[in-house]
């Protein structure tokens, strides 16, 4: 029995050093070497200060900005410390009420826009942290953003197209725009 205990403790020590020390250090070193931006959170830096991440959604609610997907995180939207969806199913009356309220608010923000509202503008994602909005979600917001900023719709549409990414690997997901990057580009536009 003593021999088996000694073997088990030796194996525990070896695996602790290997899996708890060497492996994490090796992965961290390789990530820093080959993917430094991603390994450090894909931070967006402005004037030497981190102002966000390209990987985590940020709440924008002013009419002059593009809005991302709604976030179900608590106690505030896009709370990276509390990632998660609402877990409400499509037949749940509470979800229907929330979606109806979001549709009402979007229509009120742009009363002249009679186009159908893209689904990602009224439903939260599973994580509640999506940094992207669909290309159709961004396009739906162009008239409001252009009007509030006093810009031509064609110029804002061109900016949206410039910041729209294609499908992953050419076939996964849909075309999308990173809302924070799009809004920063919009702020630079004069």
The pLDDT, as a whole number, for residue 150 is 95
The closest of 136, 144, 135, 68 to 111, measured between CA atoms, is 144
- Torsion on CA atoms 71, 77, 82, 84, rounded to nearest 10: -10
> 53 has which bridge partners?
43
The closest of 9, 127, 144, 125 to 67, measured between CA atoms, is 144
The pLDDT, as a whole number, for residue 111 is 93
What is the residue extent of each domain of the chain? 2-37, 44-188
Encode pLDDT of 132-167 as tens digits. Answer: 999 999 999 999 999 999 999 999 999 999 999 999
**181, two tokens:** 């990057």
**Any alpha helices (H) in the chain, and if so which ranges?**
2-17, 23-34, 36-39, 93-109, 135-149, 153-162, 179-188
Query: Taking residues 67-79, what's their average pLDDT?
Result: 85
DSSP assigned state of 111: T
The pLDDT, as a whole number, for residue 69 is 92
- Phi/psi for 134 (5° steps) reads -65, 160
Answer yes or no: is pLDDT of 190 > 80: no
């Amino acid at each position: 029995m003593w021999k088996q205990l000694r073997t088990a403790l030796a194996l525990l020590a070896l695996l602790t050093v290997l899996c708890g020390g060497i492996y994490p250090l090796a992965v961290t070193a390789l990530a820093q070497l080959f993917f430094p931006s991603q390994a450090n959170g894909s931070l967006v830096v402005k004037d030497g200060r981190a102002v966000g991440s390209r990987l985590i959604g940020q709440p924008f609610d002013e009419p002059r900005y593009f809005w991302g997907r709604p976030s179900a995180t608590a106690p505030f939207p896009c709370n990276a410390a509390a990632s998660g969806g609402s877990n409400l199913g499509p037949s749940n009356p509470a979800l229907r009420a929330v979606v109806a309220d979001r549709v009402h608010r979007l229509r009120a923000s742009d009363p002249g826009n009679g186009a159908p509202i893209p689904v990602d503008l009224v439903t939260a994602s599973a994580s509640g942290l999506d940094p992207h909005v669909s290309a159709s979600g961004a396009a739906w917001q162009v008239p409001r953003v252009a009007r509030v900023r006093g810009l031509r719709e064609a110029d804002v549409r061109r900016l949206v197209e410039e910041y729209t990414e294609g499908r992953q690997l050419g076939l996964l997901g849909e075309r999308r725009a990173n809302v924070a990057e799009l809004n920063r580009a919009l702020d630079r536009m004069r």
